[in-house]
Amino acid sequence: GQSGRERVTEDNGSNGSDSELKVEKDGASDGESKVDPGVPEVPAPADDTPEVLNKALSGLSSRWKNWWVRGILTLAMISFFFLIIYLGPMVLMMIVLCVQIKCFQEIITIGYSVYHSYHLPWFRTLSWYFLLCVNYFFYGETVTDSFFALVQREEPLRILSKYHRIISFALYLTGFCMFVLSLVKKHYRLQFYMFGWTHVTLLIVVTQSHLIIHNLFEGMIWFIVPISCVICNDIMAYMFGFFFGRTPLIKLSPKKTWEGFIGGLFSTIVFGIMLSYVMAGCRYFVCPVEFNTNSNSFQVECEPSELFQLQDYALPSVLESVTGWTTVRLYPFQIHSIALSSFASIMGPFGGFFASGFKRAFKIKDFANTIPGHGGIMDRFDCQYLMATFVNVYIASFIRGPNPSKVIQQLLALRVDQQLHIFNSLKAHLTEKGLLPALQEATA
């Protein structure tokens, strides 16, 4: 490293000593110490644009060169997205896990770039350990909930499922104790700051990726349409802003314009309705992902719910006078897609603004240089995580109902006396409602 003493000062607006965080590194006399009044800059990643593209676009201005690089890499990423959709839901889950790990690594690396220079122990090790603990907890909950029959059939999985939460807590408690033992005198505040950094990163990245997988289990359409709407909004807002942008939208992102924001909104709503129409008619996309105990494999076969069956809707008189149609035939899911695409266009960008503020705080342009012209993986998924939470809440509030197959699986796992008690209670309830005699006559 550098000679001399490095000092980081965190100013919260007051002149007292309590408002400053000073971390010093020995190596020279006090007269040679240097004060950095701002947050330490993270070294900017080098340009990682492929040499082939650099040569092919060498005659263009930087603005148009960036446009072409972003466009070519965007098409490549969309092609890869189509490929993993073709490979099925399990591959999609693995990709979500890989993206989660890469996003976590990019954010933690920024913290480590500041933290490493002070030679404080275990930060990166503990960060990855906590990532492992949190993933074990969330994925264990998902497996227990979604693959209950498989878990009950395999003895090791049944034991892990039964004691899953106490195991998860014990793992986290181990990491917590390791952190306490790693505390170093005179650096307590910085260490707790980085402890909070790790946990906020886990909250933003791991929790949201877990919700994405939950959405996927409801049917691939709940995964593909929201993600595609965010991608469409990102592309169309960039295109409208690039060619027509004049009015700045927000100071955090000077390149964002009102023209791009509005153009992206309307384009995404139209795109969402069209994509939903195409996908809602295919069982592969609309059926929940379930484990078939007979074939010992995951399947996406079902009888589509009313949400994915065409229905006639009466048009308002205004639209009727314009189009000449009295009714229009749509999938109910297309109505829901308007809410999804509207959120992707209006609220989704705030995930990007949040990321822009974060990067400005550390004086960096991108989280990494993984994708030339786009930055890091986190730069591409900053809006997706906010979208994942909305979709999960939307499904729980307006779509999801009791799942009969899961209820039956749980009933079959009970003791015989418990099953008989539930049977008698259900029989008494149906008799009281007057439904049981009718059912008996129907079967007779």
Positions of E strands within 156-286: 248-250, 253-257
Query: Over the Cα atoms of the chain, what is R_g?
Result: 27
> Are 115 and 194 a contacting pair, CB within 8 Å?
yes
pLDDT digits (tens, 9 = 90+) for 78-108: 888 888 888 888 888 899 999 999 999 999 8
Q: pLDDT band at 34, cuts 50/70/90?
A: very low
Mean pLDDT of the chain: 81
Task: Please tell me the distance from the alpha carbon of residue 312 to that of residue 207, in angstroms, as a whole number.
Answer: 39
Nearest residue to 232 (alpha-carbon basis) of 267, 208, 197: 267
Q: Per DSSP, what are the bridge partners of residue 371?
A: 375
Distances (CA, A) of 296 to 148, 291, 382, 411: 13, 7, 36, 21
Task: Please tell me the distance from the alpha carbon of residue 199 to that of residue 175, in angstroms, as a whole number.
Answer: 12
Q: Which pLDDT score, from 0 to 100, does residue 117 have?
A: 52
Q: pLDDT band at 28, cuts 50/70/90?
A: very low
pLDDT digits (tens, 9 = 90+) for 114-128: 666 556 778 888 999
Q: Which pLDDT score, from 0 to 100, does residue 251 have?
A: 83
Look at strands 34-36 and 6-8 and give their pairing: parallel
Please list, in sequence order, all residues whose beta carbon lies within 8 angstroms of the beta carbon of residue 352, skipping any fewer than 6 positions away.
253, 382, 383
Q: Which pLDDT score, from 0 to 100, does residue 53 have?
A: 63
pLDDT score of 175 more than 80: yes
pLDDT score of 7 more than 50: no
Nearest residue to 351 (alpha-carbon basis) of 241, 216, 271, 252: 252
Task: Quote the pTM value.
Answer: 0.76
Tell me if residue 345 falls in helix, strand or coil: helix
> Are 64 and 38 a contacting pair, CB within 8 Å?
no
pLDDT, mean of residues 188-202: 89
Q: pLDDT band at 285, cuts 50/70/90?
A: very high
Tell me if residue 22 falls in helix, strand or coil: coil
* Class of residue 305 by CB neighbours under 10 A (exposed 0-12, middle 13-18, buried 19+): middle
- Of how many residues is the chain composed? 444
Task: Please tell me the distance from the alpha carbon of residue 399 to that of residue 386, in angstroms, as a whole number.
Answer: 19
Percent above pLDDT 70 for the chain:
81
Q: Which of 86-95, 124-133, 198-207, 398-407 has the lowest mean pLDDT?
A: 398-407
Instruction: Quote the distance between the C-alpha of residue 120 and its chain's center.
Output: 31
- Our CA dihedral for 68, 363, 108, 357, rounded to 10 degrees, sits at -80
Please list, in sequence order, all residues whose beta carbon lies within 8 angstroms of the beta carbon of residue 426, skipping any fewer than 6 positions away.
none
Alpha carbon distance, N-terminus to C-terminus of the chain: 87
> Are 117 and 185 a contacting pair, CB within 8 Å?
no
Task: Please tell me the distance from the alpha carbon of residue 103 to that of residue 80, in angstroms, as a whole number.
Answer: 18
Q: What's the count of helices (H) and strands (E) in the chain, helices before strands? A: 18, 8
> Element (H or E) spanning 390, and its range?
helix 377-394
pLDDT digits (tens, 9 = 90+) for 303-312: 888 999 999 9
At 224, which amino acid appears?
I
